[in-house]
Structure 1
Amino acid sequence: MSPKSTTNLLKQLRSLMNNTKYVTEPIHAYIVPSNDAHTSEYIADCDQFRAYISGFTGSAGTAVVTHNEACLWTDGRYFLQASQQLDSNWTLMKEGLPSTPSEGTWLSKNLPSGSRVGVDPKLYAFKKYMPLSTQLESAGHKLVPVPTNLIELLWTDRPKRPANSIVPLPLKYSGKAVKEKIGKEMKEKNAKYLVLTALDEIAWFLNLRGSDIEYNPVFFSYVILSLNGFSVFLNPQQNSSEVKQHLVSEAGDIFTIEPYDRIEEKLKNLVNNLDGLIWFSENTNYGLIGLIPKKNLLLTNITPVQLMKAVKNPVEINGMRNAHVKDAAALCCYFSWLEKNVENMTITEISGAKKLLEFRKLQEDFVGESFSTISSVGPHGAIIHYSPDATTDVQITSSSLYLCDSGGQYKDGTTDVTRTLHFGTPTDFEKECYTRVLKGHIKIATSVFPRKIKGNYLDSFAREYLWQVGLDYSHGTGHGIGSYLNVHEGPMGISWKPIQEDPGLEAGMFVSNEPGYYQDGEFGIRIEDIVQIVDAHPPHNFNNTGFLTFDFVTLVPKIIKLVVVDMLTEVEIKYLNEYHQKCRDIVGPVLQKQGQQDALKWLIKETQPISK
């Protein structure tokens, strides 16, 4: 497919950059980020402004357009895709390479003295806006908010913002009523109001779920909490009697429901004669925070709701575990079906992913996928965020590694699991790499660490055995996960990059454990489980710190065919055998009950104990 032609679009955009109907003074550069007004990781079609102006459709990237140049910044996952999708008007800026300047550095050096740089303040998080503003000012330029989105003016066939049905999540799944989530934190901070803008925080706080963004059970909304109640800002089409009745039953008569587009007006009214603070996360868009005088502004890395959401309650914990049992049954069905049929029928990356979805649909309380399945054969497995489409789809065969990273949304939990398989004879190098990844996976799974330690400190454990031979991987080792919510959930994580928002790991949090290795042009290997952080009880307890460890939640066999058993220690073998026994004991009866005899036989075969 040839790149989208952007010549006329860029010409029109540059004209708008000089049009004082939309900008108070002409601007010399315009930034188009990959965000919506809620700084969501995944965004709806109507918010794909950067994709529209550039033609590049990857999930991460920033476009910068000046009067003479157009540049697109994206990371290593998308270098190849961007180079294929951008036309000759654009320069690809390969983020993360030492030779690539940041957007701010490039603008500082390439704009004429005294330039004005515009951005839609609703699409730029405060935590990014302020440093960029400071950097540009030090170079003699100015960052200016442009309230009218200039791309929206050009996008004549822009999709409408979704306004799908919002449904209550019963207490048997949520575990805690809305009124129980209004805590004491606001009083402690002298905050009169707390503003929630992240869609997953709002869905969790209200015990409501939607489908306005694909794979994410959320809905477009804002919430303002006071010490006495809260206001919800929704599209009036979504304000159903069911939603109102649900909120009354869980919170009483302490809320109002107002139109979604009244949020700015409401905030402006609140600051009139306000004696106190309005609390925001720094991830809130600059357009909203910019409405509040500094004397009335309280900013923190995260909101108390985000932290409450990250530490699951007992009902959520049981639900997450139950969801992963069902998901394991579906994956056993899929992998056994693949093994049986890969040689005698044509199964492709896409048709395989569709078959996996069929098996998930058989499970109780299944709602949908938690992200687009990464079904990847051979060289495609080395593309970390690969997702097959009609132009790249290839057959799954017995001659290559097959990496499958997938997840489901169930009413009782969200899943995310990766397994790497081979239906023929893997090479010695593939087996060595798989075993080194597995050893790192087990090292994380069995680690014991002090309470509140940041996940960044654990990341090296997963890489140790790859580093020994000069190998590595270029993604984090673990991310938080929602409870029937977003598959990626902060504020904690396990990464080689320090995570500024990480409050420290606590019992009740769920994270992924997913080291990998990727041989460009040949294969990819990743082993991913979801694990629960639980209390550990080592023989000593330094300064009464309290120690934690991980308990596995995912129950899908690792692939013994790919393991070099002689590379494992006795401790690692013991762990693997105990893990596989749990898979057999817990998932086996589910498959038996569902009548999935082929999957049960596959599970029993793949969980045979190993020894040196």
Structure 2
Amino acid sequence: MAVGTSASRTDTTARLAELRKLMALNNVDVYIVPSEDAHQSEYIAPVDARREFISGFTGSAGCAVVTSSKASLSTDGRYFLQAEQELDSNWELLKQGLPDVPTWQEWALREAEGGKNVGVDASLISAAQAKVLLEKLKSRKGGELIGMDSNLVDMVWSADQPLKPLDPLIVLGMEFAGKSFEEKLVDIRKEIEKQKGSGLVVSMLDEIAWLFNLRGNDIPFNPVFFSYAFVSPTEAILYVDENKITDEVRKHLGELVIIKPYNAIFEDLKTFNMSTATEESKILVTSSASWALTKSLSENKFTTIKAPIEAAKAVKNETEVTGMKNAHIRDGVAQIQYFAWLEKALSKGDFYDEVSAADQLEEFRKAKEHFVGLSFPTISSAGSNGAIIHYQPEKNTCARVEKDKIYLCDSGAQFFDGTTDSTRTLHYGTPTPEEIKSYTLVLKGHIAVATAVFPKGSSGFILDILARQYLWREGLDYRHGTGHGVGSFLNVHEGPIGIGTRMQYNEIALDVGMFISNEPGYYEDGQYGIRIENVVLVVEKKTPNNFGDKKYYGFDTVTMVPMCKRLTDPLLLDDDEKKWLNEYHSTVYANTKDYLKDDDYTLEWLKRECGPI
């Protein structure tokens, strides 16, 4: 899952003209506009949607670069179609991953040759990225890399820019968190000691929320809040707008956590740098730390480490595992109700567009215990819109859901006890042989991942081929990863794990207690899209042998929603695949039927869809 939108163009001519005036006033020839906020968040608050504002491209991934006469937008294969439809004639689209297409860094460096200066808001780029750009600018005989304290796009946006959110924080109780923040601080301090650090700077919002057992509402669909943290052997400081701190939060944090204003960290880091960091004991930062943060530290007074909180957060404790399983059962019931309702509505000839249909799904979810909100905007896509991999419909411009067209629905919810994300591709009429074959090839890849057994120490990088193998045999593929980590009432996309071809997925081994998605797909441009997504839990597996005294791991599927039998060709499934599918459907039925005992129609629909193939 990732988030995009339906296509509509924005005229960016006036915005670019204003930006170029400001660039000239600030002696900047090339200006970089990243997608991320000051915390390197994948999903951002409206106030931080600078790249979207200046380019008109609404996808969640990409980077804009503007010069005095050119502008480029770089994004990956999930968003090629969307970007082509949304960018106006002022922009050059850089399709990442295609042959001979430069990255945004390469494009910017080329434009900076001849001594031209490159500018960027220092809070929006990581220190690691800034260091690479600095080195390459020197080698390419470019000008300076200027880390700016102010943001030029904000100046163009001006009074129309949304305000920063001020919603109060909430305390996540032990019945959901499973581990106190005091215990978590003890563990993190052990890691600081192990790394011989004098303190740890924490800038990722989900890490801070997890560490202190707090949640917020600053970024839509992600229960996080704008903040920084600093943890030393003797102190824990939370930098956050005090207007968000309720009496309950103060009581929760007690005297163990000092609360300071959000921006105070930058001056404090200079103080910590002077008083606590030594050659033997440096301040620890992670690779996500912004250039603005590290500029507050002398280079020889800090060291970069792998994020210890990110790694700890990825492995769910027993309470979180139980909560995630329960949340997925309730969420599965909501989807079952929705898909049965949609079939009935379409069979009667009722009219529903992609938005009104998705709204009904949200209503089913709202009725479930511990529901907080959606975990991302529902990707409700009919027919050819499904080929836009992460399409988000808009009222008045979206398509009608029709009985004789494939319908792809990628959706999820935030519950106090877990975060869900699943995709189902359905057909309520008579699908074509091509659609059936494509769906079944994707299903085979999905089953291959679901049934994988692998030795301890394996990464998601090596599992990706399992999902694609059947498509590859037909010369087909898909332009997105096969899986992403999932938070527990946190971000629906959670690092550091994933299943895909990114080399970073080879750096972290899958471990028991991690939740990850399993979502292969196939997209026929202009016709249809297919994706099948379940969330799975990494568990230990019993094997007949134990080569090298290794433990072996595999997955338990926790999503509880039937697959589409109309789109499945049993002749393309082998006996083991049929066995898995039938057992999965039996599990779905057993876990959800009691919730539907007063709903005869939906229960009959569920019984039919979960029948053996």
TM-score between the two structures when normalised by the length of structure 1:
0.95
Distance verdict in 2 for CA 1:356–1:500, change over 3 Å: closer
- Shift of residue 565, structure 1, vs aligned partner: 0.8
Contact kept in structure 1, 2:422 and 2:533, CA below 8 Å = yes
Residue 231 (str. 1) matches residue 232 (str. 2): no
Match of 2:3 in 1: none
1:333-360 Cα deviation digits (max 9, x unpaired):
0010011111321011111100000000
Contact kept in structure 2, 1:343 and 1:397, CA below 8 Å = no
- Shift of residue 126, structure 1, vs aligned partner: 2.1
Residue 319 (str. 1) matches residue 320 (str. 2): no
**Partner letter of residue 244 of structure 2?**
Q
Match of 2:525 in 1: 520
Contact kept in structure 1, 2:203 and 2:227, CA below 8 Å = yes
Match of 1:260 in 2: 262
- Partners of 2:533 and 2:405 in 1: CA distance: 20
Match of 2:400 in 1: 395
- Shift of residue 533, structure 1, vs aligned partner: 0.3
- Shift of residue 228, structure 1, vs aligned partner: 2.0
Match of 2:155 in 1: 153
- Partners of 1:63 and 1:138 in 2: CA distance: 23
Higher mean Cα deviation, 129-138 or 264-273? 129-138
1:567-604 Cα deviation digits (max 9, x unpaired):
11111111111111111111111222xx2322211111
Q: How does 1:421-432 map to 2 (within 5 A)?
A: 421-432=426-437
- Partners of 1:568 and 1:8 in 2: CA distance: 56
1:216-264 Cα deviation digits (max 9, x unpaired):
011111110111230001112112211111112xxxx221000111110
Contact kept in structure 1, 2:324 and 2:417, CA below 8 Å = yes
Higher mean Cα deviation, 432-441 or 77-86? 77-86
Name the SS of the counterpart of 1:579 in structure 2.
helix
Match of 1:346 in 2: 351
**Partner letter of residue 43 of structure 2?**
Y
Match of 2:314 in 1: 310
Match of 2:203 in 1: 197
Name the SS of the counterpart of 1:534 in structure 2.
strand
- Shift of residue 397, structure 1, vs aligned partner: 1.3
- Shift of residue 9, structure 1, vs aligned partner: 2.9
Name the SS of the counterpart of 1:409 in structure 2.
strand
Distance verdict in 2 for CA 1:598–1:103, change over 3 Å: same
**Partner letter of residue 318 of structure 2?**
P
- Partners of 2:8 and 2:253 in 1: CA distance: 50
Give unpaired runs (5+ residues) of structure 1.
none
- Shift of residue 510, structure 1, vs aligned partner: 0.5
Distance verdict in 2 for CA 1:231–1:538, change over 3 Å: same
Q: CA RMSD in A?
A: 1.6
- Partners of 2:498 and 2:228 in 1: CA distance: 26
Distance verdict in 2 for CA 1:199–1:74, change over 3 Å: same
Match of 2:448 in 1: 443
**Partner letter of residue 609 of structure 1?**
P
Name the SS of the counterpart of 1:598 in structure 2.
helix
- Shift of residue 398, structure 1, vs aligned partner: 1.3
Distance verdict in 2 for CA 1:10–1:568, change over 3 Å: closer
From 200, 210, 214, the equivalent of 2:216 is 210
Contact kept in structure 2, 1:491 and 1:501, CA below 8 Å = no
Residue 335 (str. 1) matches residue 309 (str. 2): no
From 473, 477, 480, the equivalent of 1:475 is 480
- Partners of 1:392 and 1:96 in 2: CA distance: 31
Match of 1:180 in 2: 183
Match of 2:610 in 1: 607
From 371, 376, 380, the equivalent of 2:376 is 371
Name the SS of the counterpart of 1:499 in structure 2.
helix
- Partners of 1:388 and 1:6 in 2: CA distance: 22
Name the SS of the counterpart of 1:426 in structure 2.
coil
From 551, 556, 580, the equivalent of 2:556 is 551
From 580, 583, 596, the equivalent of 1:591 is 596
- Shift of residue 66, structure 1, vs aligned partner: 1.3
- Partners of 1:128 and 1:483 in 2: CA distance: 29
Residue 74 (str. 1) matches residue 71 (str. 2): no
Match of 2:543 in 1: 538
Name the SS of the counterpart of 1:176 in structure 2.
coil
**Partner letter of residue 488 of structure 1?**
H
Match of 1:561 in 2: 566
- Partners of 1:10 and 1:447 in 2: CA distance: 50
Q: How does 1:487-506 map to 2 (within 5 A)?
A: 487-499=492-504, 502-506=507-511
Distance verdict in 2 for CA 1:339–1:203, change over 3 Å: same
Higher mean Cα deviation, 314-323 or 522-531? 522-531
Name the SS of the counterpart of 1:360 in structure 2.
helix
1:96-135 Cα deviation digits (max 9, x unpaired):
2213212232233333511211111100122322222222
Distance verdict in 2 for CA 1:111–1:188, change over 3 Å: closer
**Partner letter of residue 218 of structure 2?**
D
- Shift of residue 147, structure 1, vs aligned partner: 1.4
**Partner letter of residue 226 of structure 1?**
S
1:125-155 Cα deviation digits (max 9, x unpaired):
2232222222222101132211121122222
1:249-296 Cα deviation digits (max 9, x unpaired):
xxxx22100011111011111101332211111111111022222222
- Shift of residue 3, structure 1, vs aligned partner: 4.1
Match of 2:4 in 1: none
- Shift of residue 550, structure 1, vs aligned partner: 0.4
Count of residues in Structure 1 that have an aligned counterpart in Structure 2? 598
Q: Aligned residues: percent identity?
A: 46
**Partner letter of residue 181 of structure 1?**
K
Match of 1:164 in 2: 167
- Shift of residue 500, structure 1, vs aligned partner: 5.4
Match of 2:115 in 1: 114
- Partners of 2:463 and 2:397 in 1: CA distance: 36
**Partner letter of residue 224 of structure 2?**
V
Higher mean Cα deviation, 559-568 or 1-10? 1-10
Distance verdict in 2 for CA 1:500–1:81, change over 3 Å: closer
1:171-208 Cα deviation digits (max 9, x unpaired):
00000000111211110001111111111111111111
- Shift of residue 7, structure 1, vs aligned partner: 3.3
Q: How does 1:100-139 map to 2 (within 5 A)?
A: 100-139=101-140
- Partners of 1:348 and 1:10 in 2: CA distance: 35
Distance verdict in 2 for CA 1:524–1:578, change over 3 Å: same
**Partner letter of residue 230 of structure 2?**
I
**Partner letter of residue 596 of structure 2?**
L
From 216, 224, 228, the equivalent of 1:222 is 228
Contact kept in structure 2, 1:333 and 1:598, CA below 8 Å = no
1:453-475 Cα deviation digits (max 9, x unpaired):
11100000111111111111111
- Partners of 1:586 and 1:514 in 2: CA distance: 22
- Partners of 1:517 and 1:4 in 2: CA distance: 29
Residue 62 (str. 1) matches residue 63 (str. 2): yes
Distance verdict in 2 for CA 1:330–1:44, change over 3 Å: same
- Partners of 2:299 and 2:506 in 1: CA distance: 22
- Partners of 1:31 and 1:401 in 2: CA distance: 39
Match of 2:87 in 1: 86
**Partner letter of residue 313 of structure 1?**
N
Contact kept in structure 2, 1:402 and 1:421, CA below 8 Å = yes
